Each structure stands twice: as structure tokens, then as C-alpha cells.
Structure 1
Amino acid sequence: MSRRILVIAHTGRSAAMAAAQEVCTQLHAAGLVPVMRRKDLEDIQAEYGQLTAPTEILDEDVQLTEVDLGMVLGGDGTILRAAELVRDTEVPLLGVNLGHVGFLAESEREDLDKTVGWVVDRDYTVEERLTIDVKVWLDSTLLAHTWALNEAAVEKADRQRMLEVVMEVDARPISSFGCDGVVMATPTGSTAYAFSAGGPVVWPGVEALLITPISAHAVFSRPLVVAPDSILAVEILSRNAANGILWCDGHRSIDLPPGSRVEVTRSNVPVRLARTHDTPFSERLVNKFQLPTQGWRGPANQPPEQAANGGILP
């Protein structure tokens, strides 16, 4: 049976739709079966006409459990939405960055042909990324239950007033303060919203949870890195009647009335990401943020060809 590859594109970008056409054509030529969601396919057909390769429709011609891998064409936001689609399956995602930083993506647009070749040859490994389970309570009532790959961000709903919160770790209060919000993140999310809020960069292989206040009016408002089995919580205090809002991975939101409580724990359902080469995370960090490394000499036993290239192998 031919392998089926799900192609997910950000159809709001013409570059992503053009890339999707290329990928489907190359997969079909290599004997694989491209699969798309009906809406994505219809958006591309409305822009470009009929696809050049026959394409199966997800949930009509084929089920997600029959898919071998998902290729995601877009930025990190597209990959996060794709993760929501495949989370309850064992389908790994391989991202091709068509956005800006693209930390979750494995390759760039200029490497599209090579990436398709890696998929055809199964020249990739799969790693599991820690996710978080998120619950919203009001007194003893469970208002919502969701999850996140990057972060659960509690934010103020009204621009005019601060959010009054209490941060908690393992059923013990840490500090209360007024703020713009609090980010509870995974190591994967440490380079996303938590990074913008001043949190630390945590290597993806580290098992931990992060909690980072946003613009806190407090003497102690440092980001915290805690054990992966810890229970994080943020309570919305009622003293100024301010409402909050919870954003999970930037695209799922839940209203937080005063007195509500957001609890975050490690989920037992990971997200699987496909990797095509063993690039160290430190190198990815340098490349994505274009960090200066001039003057680095490297370890004493470093191969001469690597030292001559500034320490980075081609």
C-alpha cells in the first residue's frame, strides 16, 4: 500500500499554496499519496485551479490514522494548529518554515525539494515534545479543559486595568501581584510567548514546566522553572473585579471571570515532531535569532574544517 502524506498549508499565504502544489506533485511522482483537508484543497483550487497531482481528502477518502506523516507549510502558528489536528494519533509533523522565526519548523522554503526527498526516503527521526494539560475552575465547577504545546497564557481582558493574580506551585502560593498576565509554558514554548515575556530559553530535551509573569508590579516577579510533575496554578483575584482571558497556543481562548483558577500539569499525550537532521538546539538557536558568535574558537580537539567554519559544520 502506498504511503499517505498529509499536506497542511497556510492557505492565507500564496507562497504556502504554491508550495503545497509543488509538494503534492513531487509526492505523487515518487509513488506516495498526497492527502489534504477539503477546505485547504478548495482554497488552492480557487486560486490556482485543479491540482497537478491527484489528492485524497482527509476524513472522506482516508482517515488520519492511515496517514504516515504530516508536512506543514507555514509558520509556527500553522504547525500549532496542525498539532491540534493530529494530537490524538501517532502522526508526526514535519514543518517547512514559510513564516518568520519558525522554531517548530524543520526546514526552510529553499529546502523544499530536499525535504520532500527526506520524506520519500523516510530519512527522518521522530521526537516527542512535552505538552500541558490545562483546566479552568470557578469554585468547584470545571469551566474548561484543554491543552497546549507551547503555553497557556493568562492575560488581562481589559486594557484599562491590571489583572490581580496569585501564582502557585504544588499547592503553595508563591506571590500575588498586579500584572498584564502570566505565561505557563513547556520547554518547546520557551522560545515563544514566554521568551517575549522575559523567560529563560529551555532546551527541548529538558523535562520541566515554566511560569513567567508579564509586566508584573511586584518586587519578586522572576520566571520560574519547576519539575515536570509540578502543578502550576494562577488564580484571578476578585479585589478589583478585573476579568482575564486564557489563550492556549495563541488560538484557543477561554474567558476568566474574577475568582477563576487556571491549573496546568504535564499532559500524558505528547506531540510528535519529525526531524530530518541532528542539528543541535544551540545551533538552531543561533540561526533562528541570528546571534553573534564571532571569535568563538571551540573545543581544543575540534576538527580543523569545523574550526575554519566558525565552529559550525556546513
Structure 2
Amino acid sequence: MAKYEKLALSVSPTAKAQAAAEKLVKTHAFVPREEAEAIVVLGGDGFMLQTLHQMIDAGRILPAYGMNLGTVGFLMNKREASRANILDRVNRARSFEVSPLSLAAETRGGEIVRVCAINEVSLLRETRQTAKLEIKVGDKVRIPELMCDGALVATPAGSTAYNFSANGPILPLGCGLLALTPISAFRPRRWRGAILPDHLPIEIRILEWHKRPVSAVADQREIRDVASIRVEVAHERDLTLMFDRGHSLDERIVGEQFAY
């Protein structure tokens, strides 16, 4: 008996994804998301993140199987990787658990904004002035003053994205670690970041925020003029991504480290 029988469909608004959806609905009877056991996502990485965030916000998280109709497709499967029908592909896929980050950002006005991030939480300076950050990990201040363009906290699933571009480490899935990576660090100049156990909360306080404003970005959501942030792993919101065998996310993470 198939593990999943009722599939929902989430389609990017791009013409390419819409055309693929027209063909796919002729081969399978998709159901509304509230009735589904799993969801098929047509689009690119950005649309996959958008769909995952929608499910987190709705409080009903379904296993997600992506088909790449975007550019990179790191979180997706190849569109034509198999001749099997979509239900068979979903049921033959390997599942990977991905733990998102929980961000609590306090603005300069005292408002607390709580959002999730699947790839990373980043802090970025808003003006030409270098940001000054105090970094606390666990219950100890580790860097009293980091002068930089910003800093980010990345999950293993997001470690190959912005984090890797900022010279951060690639983390294997299931490692129980987070990457804390500076962006263009000026002082201490030799600090290249840290690999941290994911049970430790990370708190970053913005110093001199009145003249060195900083924004926080959780995946695609920006919060401007923050005074401090606290980042923790939200295991209660764990996500399930499904990949065709031979094209799994852990293999892609390993492969990225040998790309040249």
C-alpha cells in the first residue's frame, strides 16, 4: 500500500511552472491542501521556501516533493528524472527532516517580531556605516564587538546558499549544527565564524543602532531597524522534504563541496 495517496499541488506563477501543471493535473487527481497527505511543488527554490512558510504559518505541515522549474533547484527534484507517475515518484522518494530557525527580533521601537527561517537568518547594515554587533552564544558573550557588514546564522539545508557565498562552512544534514558566519568582517579581521551545536540559542545585539541601523532577514522576510535578535532551532516545526533516490539533498550538500 502506498505511503501517500492524497497529493496537493502548489504551482509557481511562472509560465513554465503553469504549463507543467496543466500536464500534471491530467495524470493525477490532486486534492485541496487541507485534505492532502503530501504536497507536490512546481517551481524553484524560492517558491519551495514560500510554500513551506505558508504551511508553517497555517500550522499544517505536509511532506513536500519539489519538481524543479526554476534556476538552481537545490531543494527540488529534476522534472524529468523518472518516467514513473507522480504518485509513484512521491512514494519512492527518500525523506529528509529539515529543522527551521525561530527568530525573535526586537526593533528599535520595542516591538518583538517572531518569524521562521528555513535557510538562514541574516543581519545586514542599512547604511554605509559599518555595523557593530555583540554576539552571545548560550549564556556567554563570545564577541563583545564585531565590526562588519552583517552576520548570518544558517541551517544545514541553507548552508550552501548565502552562507556559502559569505565563505561559511557547508554543513551535512542531521549534524545537529548551525553556521554562524560574519559578512565582510572588519574587526576582529581574522574571525571567520563558528560552527555551533544547534541546542544553543544565539543572541546578537546591535551596538550604536541609532547611527548604525541594521536589518534582520529571515529567508525572504525583512525586519528593519532591529535592536537585537535571538535565534533558536524550532524542532516543533520540523519539515519533511522528499527527494528521488540518487538525487537526495545530503548528496547535493556533499557535492557542493567538490564543485569547481
Calculate the TM-score normalised by the size of structure 2: 0.86
**Alignment correspondent of 1:273:** 241
Q: Indicate the structure (1 or 2) with the bigger Cα radius of gyration.
A: 1
Q: 1 CA distance for matches of 2:53 and 2:175?
A: 22
1:206 equivalent among 161, 167, 175: 175
**Alignment correspondent of 2:40:** 71
1:97 equivalent among 48, 68, 71: 68
8 A contact 2:126–2:213 mirrored in 1: yes
- Superposed CA deviations along residues 150-178 of structure 1, whole A, max 9, x for unmatched, are 111111122x2221112221132222222
Asked whether 1:118 is paired with 2:114, we answer no
Q: 1 CA distance for matches of 2:9 and 2:175?
A: 30
8 A contact 1:103–1:288 mirrored in 2: no
Q: 2 CA distance for matches of 1:75 and 1:271?
A: 17
Residues 80 and 239 of structure 1, relative CA distance in 2, 3 Å threshold: closer
Residues 104 and 281 of structure 1, relative CA distance in 2, 3 Å threshold: closer
Q: Going by fraction, where is strand more abundant, 1 or 2?
A: 2
Displacement of 1:4 after TM fit?
A: 3.3
8 A contact 1:164–1:177 mirrored in 2: yes
Residues 241 and 226 of structure 1, relative CA distance in 2, 3 Å threshold: same
**Alignment correspondent of 1:46:** none
**Alignment correspondent of 2:196:** 226
**Alignment correspondent of 1:310:** none
SS of 2:92's equivalent in the other structure is coil
Asked whether 1:174 is paired with 2:170, we answer no
One-letter amino acid matched to 1:252: R
**Alignment correspondent of 1:10:** 12
Q: 2 CA distance for matches of 1:97 and 1:243?
A: 37
Q: 2 CA distance for matches of 1:243 and 1:72?
A: 37
Percent of aligned pairs sharing the same letter = 25
**Alignment correspondent of 1:215:** 184
SS of 2:172's equivalent in the other structure is coil
Q: 2 CA distance for matches of 1:242 and 1:149?
A: 27
One-letter amino acid matched to 1:126: S
- Superposed CA deviations along residues 248-286 of structure 1, whole A, max 9, x for unmatched, are 11x1111124xx111101112111112331556564246
Q: 2 CA distance for matches of 1:290 and 1:23?
A: 35
One-letter amino acid matched to 1:34: F
4+ long deviations beyond 6 Å? none
1:162 equivalent among 95, 108, 130: 130
Residues 239 and 94 of structure 1, relative CA distance in 2, 3 Å threshold: closer
* Unaligned segments of structure 1, at least 5 residues: 28-32, 36-61, 293-314
Calculate the TM-score normalised by the size of structure 1: 0.73
